Amino acid sequence: MSTTNITPSRQNWTVVLFGFLALSLAFSSRAALGLIMPVWQTEFSWSSSYISGVGAAALVTMAIVAPFAGRLVDRRGSQFTLNLGMGLLGIGCAMVAMMNGKLMFVIGFAGFSAMGFGIVATHVVATAVTRNFSENQGLATGIGTSGATGGQFLIVPLIAALLAFASWRWSFGVLSLSSLALIPCIRMSMRADTPQHGENESGEKTSTLRQDLAVIMRQPAFHLLFWSFLICGFTTTGVIETHLLPFASFCGFPPIPSATAYGVLSLVNLVGMIAAGWLTDQVNRSMLLAAIYLLRALTFILLSGLPGMSIEMLFLFAILFGAVDYSTVPVTASLVASHVGIKMMGLAMGLISAGHAIGGALGAFIGGYVFTATASYNLVWIGSIWLAVGAALLAFLLRERPSTKVTA
């Protein structure tokens, strides 16, 4: 079992705090694209397909960057990696704030910002937290990574306020300044945990990327977690984050109540991630992950019955799905740490996160294709039910091992 030296408890919780803030800014910057899209359509005469295409290109960039970001946190440490990501995000948002044409938008959002999104991601924060905690790793990971949804609940309304009372340029300008301002805070508050002289924290000689990939790919646990997390991306980022609001509109629900229901989903999502993190420290993690996927399958059964029903059913779905939306993150991170190893956790989580992004892209595309072909989302929800059940079976096949403890 790999071990690392840690600093006092206060330093460890600082990692959680700044991981939460970094993810809040990164995910809010991503969400700003959809929020400001109608303004750009009017001001620049850009089509929704063009803006959405740039957003899709950003997702591809994120998927490519994710494994390298994980490798970076393994080799250069969490302080360096998070600061690099915040710097790229700050530059990208500044370019978007100052843009006057398509090229600058593409470079700013699908280039610099997207690389920042790929680095300031849940797998990097989860790895950083795990490496800095000897106890309560699951709870700490759940809190730190909950910034991914907390940002959408806390910061996106502020972006909307700036959009209403100032301009969209101020919205991205404030995101840029906030991202850059976080860099000195991270540098001053988080220890530099960079391995020295070609050795890792255990004093072992570092391996090459090819060697680490070979080790990871030989482990059945990695493949079980990779494919279950790809399905996770399909059933969350892909079909729900992309198609829930269009589905609500298709069912005849007004925009404001539908958006409110989505906000409730985000709030419950935050609570669900923290609760899942706490449970990760208390119960059998493989069974917990399987249970989360099974509960997610049940929520899709509820969703398939929404057409013609009341708005209260949409809110019920938002509450139930929110509880099992991103709650797979702290459990999966803990299983990667114990089954693949702390030494290669960043790279393994990066590969798994890339799978999540691929699943999300497939879910978004297939959901749109099925609706266009059938004028209904029923096949999407039914397919998601069985995919979630399949993910639960993959998680069930994992044999529980003692969770990784980082000792002083």
- Is residue 179 in some structural domain? yes
Residue 369 lies in a domain: yes
pLDDT at position 193 over 70: no
At 253, is the pLDDT very low, low, confident or very high (cuts 50, 70, 90)?
Answer: confident
Instruction: State how far the Cα of 205 lies from the Cα of 383, in Å rounded to an integer.
Output: 46
Q: 330-369, pLDDT tens digit by residue?
A: 999 899 988 888 888 888 988 998 898 888 888 888 888 8
403 occurs within a structural domain: no
Whether 201 is in a domain gets the answer: no
198 band by pLDDT with thresholds 50, 70 and 90:
very low
CATH of the domain at 182: 1.20.1250.20
Extended beta strands in 168-325, E state: none
Residue 338 forms part of a structural domain:
yes
Number of domains present in the structure of the chain? 1
Residue 384 and residue 378: Cα distance in Å, rounded?
A: 10
Distance of alpha carbon 370 from alpha carbon 366, whole angstroms: 6
User: What is the domain range of residue 172?
Assistant: 9-195+207-396
- Range with lowest mean pLDDT among 124-138, 144-158, 190-204, 303-317: 190-204
**Confidence at residue 1, expressed as pLDDT on a 0 to 100 scale:** 36
Instruction: Establish if 28 belongs to a structural domain.
Output: yes
Task: Compute the distance between CA of residue 152 and CA of residue 172 in angstroms, rounded to an integer.
Answer: 15
Nearest to 32 by CA among 96, 84, 80: 96
Residue 199's beta-bridge partner residues? 205
Nearest of 198, 172, 311, 292 to residue 236 by alpha carbon: 292
Give residue 259's Cα distance to chain centre: 20
Report the C-alpha gap between 288 and 276 in whole angstroms: 8
Residue type at 391 in one-letter notation: A
Listed residue (382, 261, 238) closest to 317, CA to CA: 261
What is the pLDDT of the chain when averaged over all its residues? 84
CB atoms within 10 A of CB 399: 9
Domain for residue 4, yes or no? no
Q: What's the pLDDT at 327?
A: 92
pLDDT at position 228 is: 95
DSSP bridge pairs for 25: none
Report which of residues 45 and 406 the model is more confident about. Answer: 45
Exposed, middle or buried: residue 390 (CB in 10 Å: 0-12, 13-18, 19+)? Answer: middle
pLDDT tens digit sequence for 298-322: 999 888 765 556 778 888 998 999 9
Beta bridge partners of 205: 199
Residue 404 lies in a domain: no
The pLDDT > 90 percentage for the chain reads 33
